[in-house]
Amino acid sequence: MQPDRDSSIPTSAPSVPAGRLSMLAKGLSVLMTFQPGDFELSLSEISRRAKLAKPTTHRLVTELLGWGMLERGSSGLRLGQRLYVLGSRAPRQRLLREAAMPYLHRVGSATRTKVCLSVLEHHDAVHLDQVTLYQSGGCRYPDDHVITAAAYRALLAYRPSRPAPRTRSWSQPSIPTQDRSRTGTHDPELTRIRTRGYSVVRDHSGGALSVAVPLLDPGDQALAAIAVGAPAEHCRPQDVLPHLLTATTALSRKLDAMREFR
């Protein structure tokens, strides 16, 4: 069950002069300017992020609007529904979500926390799915950035060794500031995560806590991570870890039997 080796898909145009990019690459660079948290972007912002001239950006945006890959919003442009439909057809992600859903529900039912299934996308942890079953007694689930941070650390600790990602000048992953300069695989914190098999992130300002366990293939590379999050008093690592470890172990065995993950 080997993961795609080239999982570092660029989030912007390749580092070559804009004039040498193909029209396809320029169109993709327009789409890739949208990052987590971006609902709408202006044409000028897209042009700046993609490092393309405004007339070129305008032509590309017009074509992408015609294809339904972009839509006009009240204050700018947003990703289109057809792009979402196309993404939902990606077989590995769809099969992973379908296979994981019963285990996410079991973890949520046992721990009464918010549960997320996440994958590593370049230098972001992206949630493929999540389960929120319980929210009682005044308990509020944490913001996604806490769970994203825990999943990101767990995934990064188990990815193939490669140089630390370059810092983007216009966007950052949703992880605590102290993590952004320590993303190399030789980071002591990542070594500790590999030793113990899970990551823990505490949001001291909001009182939230998240624990994430990677879903590993036979080569000990992370396919995904299952992370839980809740206020710290409702999410003690010693309480949620047995359920996370049981779920990731069972799900890993299930994926081993599927030819799409071999």
Cα diameter, the chain: 59
Identify the H or E element spanning 216.
strand 208-216
Among 86, 110, 136, the domain boundary falls at 86
In a domain, 79, yes or no: yes
Contact 35, 9 (CB under 8 A): no
Average pLDDT, the chain: 81
Using alpha carbons, select from 248, 243, 188 the residue that is nearest to residue 214.
248
Judgement on whether residues 52 and 168 belong to the same structural domain of the protein: no
Global pTM reads: 0.69
In a domain, 120, yes or no: yes
- Lowest-pLDDT range of 7-11, 46-50, 96-100: 7-11
The CA distance from 195 to 219, in Å, is 16
pLDDT digits (tens, 9 = 90+) for 3-18: 333 333 344 444 555 5
| Section 214-234 average pLDDT | 90
User: Which residue is associated with the tokens 């999050």?
Assistant: 229
Number of domains in the chain: 2
Contact 47, 12 (CB under 8 A): no
pLDDT digits (tens, 9 = 90+) for 99-139: 999 999 999 999 999 999 999 887 788 888 999 876 544 45
Judgement on whether residues 35 and 132 belong to the same structural domain of the protein: no
Angle (deg, nearest 10), helices 91-111 and 237-256: 150
Judgement on whether residues 65 and 148 belong to the same structural domain of the protein: no
Judgement on whether residues 132 and 253 belong to the same structural domain of the protein: yes
Structural domain range at position 74: 18-86
In a domain, 6, yes or no: no
